Structure 1
């Protein structure tokens, strides 16, 4: 066990996990049933030479995870809304996926969530929102908050990222900085920078629709148990998913044209 220092700075931004604090150069996070799997993944990434993730330090006397603090900025800003940032994120996600090679892809021990029907290829982050990407010098540098990570396909994790970063969303739900962007162009840009194969590009929108359906069901189930999931649901998360799916139905052909 590692002794906890007294001075703790609450860290804001995530929707799901409360009680995340910074202590000097470390972050303390509440543990969950998936913590052993997440720590094993982070140690694998370190051994693989992937620099874009926190390192595992241990557990403190309160049973909290101790991870290294990754300095930088998060959230939606001019720098994170740019095409350059999107291409940089695609490259970072590709590096992350490649670095998970050789890690066991068993589904046991991870947080349950929506997923692809195909056989898992990588460990996906599965929660690549603006709050979970660290920027340095205007470019994506690291991924944080791996609580929802799980075995999946490359394309499913890509679709999850593009939900927020393209964004695949009804304009009424987009932040002002993302409101007028050409979503089709950004889908293509991400796919080009990542190196998404043609067969996966043809399937991307189909998988996005499947993800919307399944994430709606998963979130509704989690919300019924209360906690932060219930707060997100009460704040319209389910309605935003439904609107995004409807927007995708209307604009699928023009988006698909950018991908093929």
Structure 2
């Protein structure tokens, strides 16, 4: 038995299936724990979660080890998550602000994390031909980078915890906030937004997130540039993951995520100046 082997409780508990994200299947709850398949990014994720536990960040699950079936064992975080169909509160601006604060608090807690020697972020893919360059800004923090409504736990109307750290990687604070804005503003063509978010003031919601996070003036001025570049790259990355990983990635591609990304890029070209003006207004 090694230090990562999870010792089961003597009290038996049933396996209760939980709704996974877009690509993760086989997630279950057993008592006060969650069991998930071990992903390709697990060494980094486990190291980051241990760091967040060490600094007593309350907004992330604790990594408890690997069970006898080879699954990750994490603490279960009680609360509500915006599943599908989305709840009416998805548009609530107080909840939106709490998302920005939670992202900030997680980034601040992760700021002292040093990736252990020998642990590398998952880099299963080389960059496909023709993919545009990445934004020219160095990584500042190992961020969550997957702030979908499915991955944020709320209690008493406030965002209190993050789950599903599978996409964690070295990134910038601008990328972290832009990722949250993509799902919560939302930064997309309204045709692709949830019906409850199609009539909202997207620029205002971006400003609420930026203010709640406490974005610097420099980062606010970079956000549209960074998100536009990330969107252009996303089409190539999603296509490659669909072709090489299959599973949920292939399903999303077949359902039209590539077309959705192209619509988002066109929408940003039309509305980017409005978003930037809202973010940088005194």
User: What is the Cα deviation at residue 32 of structure 1?
Assistant: 2.2
User: What is the Cα deviation at residue 177 of structure 1?
Assistant: 1.0
* C-alpha separation in 1, matches of 2:72 and 2:193: 33
* One of 213, 217, 221 as aligned partner of 1:202: 221
- Are the counterparts in 2 of residues 58 and 65 from structure 1 also a CA contact under 8 Å? yes
* C-alpha separation in 2, matches of 1:116 and 1:141: 30
- Are the counterparts in 2 of residues 116 and 156 from structure 1 also a CA contact under 8 Å? no
* One of 52, 75, 81 as aligned partner of 1:45: 52
Q: Which residue of 2 aligns with 1:73?
A: 80
Q: Does 1:35 align with 2:46?
A: no
* Equivalent residue runs for 1:212-231 within 5 Å: 212-225=231-244, 226-231=246-251
Q: Does 1:123 align with 2:142?
A: yes
* C-alpha separation in 1, matches of 2:13 and 2:104: 38
* C-alpha separation in 2, matches of 1:202 and 1:227: 37
* C-alpha separation in 2, matches of 1:68 and 1:47: 15
Which 10-residue stretch deviates more, 29-38 or 43-52?
A: 29-38
Q: Which residue of 2 aligns with 1:183?
A: 202
Root mean square deviation of aligned Cα? 1.8
User: What is the Cα deviation at residue 13 of structure 1?
Assistant: 4.1
User: What is the Cα deviation at residue 105 of structure 1?
Assistant: 5.0
User: What is the Cα deviation at residue 61 of structure 1?
Assistant: 0.6
The Cα offsets for residues 194-214 of structure 1, whole Å up to 9 and x where unpaired, read as: 111111111111111111111
* C-alpha separation in 2, matches of 1:26 and 1:213: 38
Consecutive unaligned residues of structure 1, counting only runs of 5 or more, are none
* C-alpha separation in 2, matches of 1:6 and 1:53: 23
- Runs of 4+ in structure 1 displaced over 4 angstroms? 105-108, 113-116
* C-alpha separation in 2, matches of 1:68 and 1:52: 11
The Cα offsets for residues 180-226 of structure 1, whole Å up to 9 and x where unpaired, read as: 11011111111111111111111111111111111111111000022
Aligned residue pair count: 260
* C-alpha separation in 2, matches of 1:64 and 1:145: 14
Q: Does 1:151 align with 2:194?
A: no
Q: Does 1:18 align with 2:21?
A: no
* C-alpha separation in 2, matches of 1:36 and 1:251: 39
* C-alpha separation in 2, matches of 1:209 and 1:35: 29
Q: Does 1:102 align with 2:112?
A: yes
Q: Which residue of 1 aligns with 2:131?
A: none
* One of 121, 134, 137 as aligned partner of 2:153: 134
CA 202–95 in structure 1, closer or farther in 2 if over 3 Å, else same: same
* C-alpha separation in 2, matches of 1:210 and 1:108: 27
* C-alpha separation in 2, matches of 1:221 and 1:77: 32
Q: Does 1:240 align with 2:250?
A: no
Consecutive unaligned residues of structure 2, counting only runs of 5 or more, are 128-133
Describe the SS at the equivalent of 1:80: helix
Q: Structure 2 length as normaliser, TM-score?
A: 0.87
CA 68–235 in structure 1, closer or farther in 2 if over 3 Å, else same: same
Structure number with larger C-alpha Rg: 2
